[in-house]
Amino acid sequence: MDFNYLLKALLGRKWLIITTTFIGFAAGLVFTFFMKKSYVSEAQYSTGLTQTSKVALNTSEVFDINQIDLRFNNVIETFQSPTVLGMLSYELLLHDIENSHPFTELTEKDKKDTAYTFVDFQKAKEILHKKLNTLTLLNNYESDEKRVFDLMLLYEYDDYHISKKLTIERIKNSDFLDILYTSRNPELSAFVVNTIGIKFQEFYFSLTSSRTRESLYKIDSLTKAQQKKVDSLRDRLERFRATNGMSKTGDATGAAISSAAEATTAVTNEQTNLNKLNAQLTAVINQLADLDNNTSNTTTVVPQNNNNAEYLRLKKENENLSVQLAQKGGNDPDIEAKIKSNTTKMTSLSQSTSTGTNPTRAAERIETTRDNLNSKKQELLADIEASKKNISLYENQASEFRRIANSGGGTEVVANAFENDLKSAQDELAKYKSSQFTSQDLEVNPDFNFKQTLIGQPPIKAQPMYRSVIVGVSGIGILFITCIIILILEFLDSSLRSPSIFLRETKLKLLTIVNRMDIAKRPMKENFDMTDVQNANYNNQFFIESFRKLRFELESTNKKIILVTSLKSQEGKSTLLEALAYTFSMTKKKILIIDSNFSNNTITRKFSAKPTLENFSLGVQDNPTDKIWGITTLTDIPNVDIIGCNEGNYTPAEVLPKNNLLSNLNKVGQHYDFIFIEGAALDSHSDSKELSKYADAIMVVFSAKNSLGEIDKESIQFVKAAAPDKFIGAILNNVEKDYLDV
């Protein structure tokens, strides 16, 4: 299928393409008239994520690019989390039901909706304020909260509608987030981009502050423990100096032996402690692995409904008590008892809830557990490293004290060793105090260092509507779609609609191409009337010239008796024979048409011919000339006679008598220039195969509206193989004007 053919296919349907294109332009124009104006407001936030965390024991912490990208992704996902969007939705709904100038004006139809009429607005305000204070979402299983949620849907303030109009993205290669919101109200757009940052910080701080405080408590606990160790080492050094103030060498030697024994004991104790720490580290690593493996299956039951507030109060009280306990050195029976009592109550509240899990709290608890385990893991690793160093130090001290004892002195060496221990412990204490001092102000922590650098303003102008672009795209889009559909239909069309397709599919010689003509509206005789002005148009002229060409081709074959058949019925054989008779009549040729299509004797009926074919039989004494005049019927076409037949379910071999007309065509044919025999369709009848032996030539008619099947291919193969010397070519009938030269 070449380009010329495709172009013809499109040009043939040009009015359809033009019409649909104009419809597309009109649809785009109508669409832009009904488009509502939209306003975009923009806000920017500095995140501080490219800085390192200050609340950490490892002061050499450095983040690479991948870690920074991961943190930005986490922040964006938190912005788009149900909790943050939910809090924003509650603020929007509160504004509209409390303010005399709401962002969204409900229509009269909306105000008649049950979502509006069934709401107790005073109670709705209380519920929304409570949810904002506790950072919890509405529970659709509670009737009052369900009504508030339905009202929020009516205003289109739910997270689904908000997220469709909200855009949050990182400004490339920077520390800033860009937040845009599109709505029909400029003040609403500005309110959203400014408020969502506040709600994000509240939610993000609630997630991370508890973890940070726990880390601070651990740092405080480690600082106090290290302080005790420093005091102990200082007391040991002072006692050693006081003890070795005596001048006797034996006392110094005894002190060295005693110190060596202490160092050896310290090595043993430290080794025991190291083994214990290694076992604890293994347990923590296993717990982390189990936690990672079971995260997807973990379901945390948290307090619901009225128990939720009490649960949060007890948790908050325990956090404050933990701070007080750490400040008192981690030892206060009253505070510990209070914490234990609160924990028991929290457990009871959790167990009292039979169903319902909060995915956000479940994820928070899993994350808290993971953080605790990771913190414990880091603490154990630090303790193990310190224990290994202590073992090495104690072993060196024991060796040195033994050498001093054997040498009978070394008091100063022992004192120096004690001083080195004290200095090492003091350096470790200074590091803990530095981390503790840095962590006192959480605002310096980059995890919470979100600053709004650009405040969203109500836009003055609406977004461009791009009416010309929309109209153009609509029209051109419909144009392309229509063309593509037409081309697809052409590809799917398997009919013999053009000469090039016919030749490619059949590989048969094409005698002529006959264009489509509406013969029912105009008699065939008028088409060959050269004085008729209507025949000057392209269709009629092409039709006449097609049969003139066919007449020339038949005269060039020097064949007189020609069988006209087709593969399928209704291909136009009878009409073509009539037109061919007119063509030969114009050259004064004498033509005989024999209708042997017993399955459909159209020519016999059209010309009201006598059905005499089956009755003709030539005897020995009969004169062929006299007998032929008795069975022929004169037609209104000059010099054209016809012999008709009866219609029936039989073949020529079954109905024709012995010595019939067809077997004597050579005798009777001397009075005619051409004899045309019409046979039944090859696919469904064997008539044409039986008639082929009486003909000098075979001509097959094809309709451009039909396609080739397997039976058609078998019939073509018969024509090529069984009668190769008789087959003179094919006629492609009923071709559309647009495909005549393709």
What mean pLDDT, rounded, does the chain reach? 81
Contact 200, 78 (CB under 8 A): yes
- 387 burial class (0-12, 13-18, 19+ CB within 10 angstroms)? buried
How many whole angstroms separate alpha carbon 299 and alpha carbon 91?
A: 30
Name beta bridge partners: 521.
none
Q: Decide: pTM greater than 0.75.
A: no
Q: Give the per-residue pLDDT at 62.
A: 52
- 497 burial class (0-12, 13-18, 19+ CB within 10 angstroms)? buried
Percent of the chain exceeding pLDDT 70 equals: 82
Q: Give the per-residue pLDDT at 526.
A: 80
Q: Over 50: is that where the pLDDT of 442 sits?
A: no
How many whole angstroms separate alpha carbon 43 and alpha carbon 177?
A: 8
Nearest to 414 by CA among 257, 268, 271: 257
Strand 674-678 versus strand 561-566 pairing type: parallel
Q: Over 90: is that where the pLDDT of 549 sits?
A: yes
How many angstroms separate the Cα of 395 from the Cα of each of 312, 422, 428, 450? Answer: 52, 17, 21, 51
Tokens 């590989």 belong to: 507
How many whole angstroms separate alpha carbon 429 and alpha carbon 227?
A: 6
Least-confidence region, from 230-239, 352-361, 366-375: 352-361
The residue that leads in pLDDT, 626 or 28, is 28
Least-confidence region, from 452-456, 590-594, 625-629: 625-629
Q: Model confidence over 470-529: pLDDT tens digits? A: 888 998 999 999 999 988 887 787 888 888 888 888 889 999 999 888 776 777 888 787
Contact 310, 303 (CB under 8 A): yes
- 710 burial class (0-12, 13-18, 19+ CB within 10 angstroms)? exposed
Q: Give the per-residue pLDDT at 540.
A: 81
Contact 573, 699 (CB under 8 A): no
How many whole angstroms separate alpha carbon 314 and alpha carbon 674?
A: 115
| Residue 329 backbone zone (phi > 0: left; psi -120 to 50: alpha; other: beta) | left
- Could you tell me the two tokens for 482? 């229509």
How many whole angstroms separate alpha carbon 343 and alpha carbon 616?
A: 119
User: Hey, which of 252-256, 376-380, 621-625, 702-706 has the most confident mean pLDDT?
Assistant: 702-706
- Could you tell me the two tokens for 143? 């009737």
- Report the run of H or E that residue 525 belongs to, with start and end: helix 524-527
- Beta strands across the sheet bearing 674-678: 510-515, 727-735, 697-703, 561-566, 674-678, 591-595, 640-643, 633-634
Q: Over 70: is that where the pLDDT of 355 sits?
A: no
How many whole angstroms separate alpha carbon 463 and alpha carbon 447?
A: 35
- Report the run of H or E that residue 498 belongs to, with start and end: none
Question: What's the distance, CA 167 to chain centroid?
Answer: 20
Interior angle at CA 352, CA 346 and CA 355, nearest 5:
120
Q: Model confidence over 569-621: pLDDT tens digits? A: 888 899 999 999 999 999 999 999 999 999 999 999 999 999 999 888 887 66
Contact 1, 490 (CB under 8 A): yes
* Section 355-366 average pLDDT: 55
What is the DSSP code string of 435-460? HHHHTT-GGGSGGG--EEEE-----S
Type of residue at 640: V
Work out the pLDDT band at 190, boundaries 50, 70, 90.
Answer: very high
Nearest to 302 by CA among 356, 373, 234, 381: 356
Contact 739, 529 (CB under 8 A): no
- Could you tell me the two tokens for 508? 């048969």
How many whole angstroms separate alpha carbon 10 and alpha carbon 8?
A: 5
Contact 52, 61 (CB under 8 A): yes
How many whole angstroms separate alpha carbon 459 and alpha carbon 453?
A: 18
Question: Which residues lie closer than 8 Å to 549 by C-beta, 6 or more apart?
Answer: 511, 512
Q: Over 80: is that where the pLDDT of 730 sits?
A: yes
Name beta bridge partners: 179.
43, 168
